[in-house]
Structure 1
Amino acid sequence: MTRVAIVGGARTPVAKMGRAYRDVHPADLLAVSIGAALSDAGVEAGRVDQALFGATGQAGGQAQNVGRNAWLAAGLPHEVPAMTMDAQCPSSHLAAHLGAATIASGDASVVVVGGVESLTRVPMFTTAQAGLDRPIPATLTERWDMPHQGESAERAADRYAISRRACDEYGVRSHQAAAAAWKAGRFDDEATFVRADGAPLLRSDEGVRADSDIVKASALSPVYRPDGVNTAANSSQLSDGSAALVLASEEMCERDGLSPLAWIRSATWVGNDPDIIFDGPVDATEKVLDRAGIRTEDIALAEVHEAYAVPVLIWQQHFGFDLDRINVDGGAISIGHPFGASGARQMLHLAHALRHAGGGLGLATMCGGGGVATATIIESAV
């Protein structure tokens, strides 16, 4: 099978829900990243075989295949098919996995992948509104509790003895790391701007708090339990944003002179306990490492999804991985979490972070609602 490369990508700065992108249609929000990703890769849109995107709130402006609508809204060729998928938070991770598998099988040479979420325009749980059947039937709750994700995070913290102090310290670290990354220009190569009247609506991630400190974090009340560990300071933010990657076969890179940013070495996803979903990245990581025939010691940098501080700390505790090599430029706690876009944003940044660090192998992993988790290993090409 052919090797698959990430040859370009782009993502919008992430906006707080209800703020900078409140007047931007989700399809237009995704169209911005698609166009910038193609430009970054140096690939003509007509050469693309297919496009795969993630979006979890498929209602309103994100209904009726928002990925296809975004492709057309960007003025790109109608001959290129596009689809939208929902695997909860790892949706655009899975889009990248499926795009890479399609190329590796020989059924495509170039695939655009990514995702979008506008929690402003399509609020969380819109698709589970009153008057319709609930997504979770009684036959499911007879077998599983299916608690709110916040309660799942509290249960995971109990199981793995994750303290409130550790969560607060991690949350502060995320904000400080993201602020330092923007200041140092480490997001510049991946950022593309949403404009109105020619001016960017947002020039950096809106939720990053450079002044975050442990005193402020410790003063906040827990959200889900009176004595819980999860607060606004150590949990992911509800956000609006989009991201896209261009994947290409090794043969396409050689034939068209494309410059790989990273090679996709291995990818997988797993199912895990839906009542305690936040140890899923551990299972996914073990599986992808086994498939790639490598160990955690071979990994230079890791991106572990910051749904809360809890899953990152569980993952770090299990593998004994150096915390200084996890989410080196922040994550969803600071950058924000536009659900359908977060996986692609994470993979794009990992590829650039490896380049900044001098190369090597990187691992990205995400947990997701319902008890699913993804993991991807990439190898820097620069």
Structure 2
Amino acid sequence: MSRTPLILAILVLAFMAAAPALAQKNDAESLKRSIEQESKKVEAQRSQIGVLTKQERELHGQLAASEKRVNSLESEVAAAERELTAVEKRQQDILAEHGRIEKRRAELQRELAGIMETIWPLHLENTTNRLKGLDSWEDADRRFTWLAALYAAGSERMDELAERTSALATNLAEQDRVKAEAEKKLALVNTRKDQLLNEKLALAREIQKIRAEKLSQEEELKRILATVESLKYRLSLLTSRKIADHKGRLPWPADGAVAIRYNLNANPPVRGVGIRLAEGAPVKAVSWGKVVHDDVLRGFGKVIILFHGDNFYSLYAYLSHSNVRMGQDVEKDEVLGVAGPYPDLKGHGLYFELRRQEKAVNPFEWLSARK
């Protein structure tokens, strides 16, 4: 479709345009004070973060020292565990020796009992009958020799039994000592392990605390910086209503999908952007301006044209109806009307152009980036 009527209409309307509204001085001063206050907060917050950073460095120093102590403690624990293992092995050896002594003691008792069973009747017979029944000195000598051997064997077994019994008592005492030593070593190991665990837990809690506090302060700083930037942006908007000062940051006139893109090389050339919208979707002003057209233009349906000063115009076409009137001053983001049928989209939408004098400019260079 031809764009000539639109260009002619814009050229005619340029002579009817009035200057844009002046900056609101009181609001600007208020924003400046707010920026100063927030900037002071930024400095205070950065100072606090600096303090926390210093504390964090000190904590890392303490961490290194603590880790050194922890490593030393772990070495001591390992040494204590090795000693405990050795003690437990010795205890097992003593228990095994104890079992062998008990076994040998039982054997000696049986041997001694056998000897006593043999010697005792002979001893009674000798005591009662003296040397009766002996036919010769040779018999007597043999009997005395045999009895002497039995007595000697019995005495030897008695001595060995006494020695084994003494060894057993000593062994039992050693077993008690070793057991007490093992329990002492075990208690030491457990104490060392508890100390190690407590030190690590305390260190972990301290690290977590300082990091959480620093993170909180950094998040707060980000929030304050974002507030400062927002206030600065609002101040720039109040102190400068020149649309050229906001190139690349203008809001989109409607929230919808881009269906037709700016393309001067197309046939016919496309000098604006077509946005697909739901029926009744609001259409908003991209900047401050004055309504210089609110009527039907051939080929564009219901059209609103705003003059923004410095020979800048914005056009909003295919509206079902408008909410403004001729000569009205409008604010940025103010609703101008609602989307109507857009023939090229076979549905509802908005055709938008941004012009400087009679020349269309690429709206994608002026509007904010789409998310």
Q: Normalising by the residue count of structure 2, what TM-score does the alignment of the two structures yield?
A: 0.22
Task: Please state which structure has a larger fraction of its residues in helix.
Answer: 2
Q: Normalising by the residue count of structure 1, what TM-score does the alignment of the two structures yield?
A: 0.21
Q: Which has the larger radius of gyration?
A: 2
Q: Which has the higher contact order (CA 8 A, sep 6+)?
A: 1
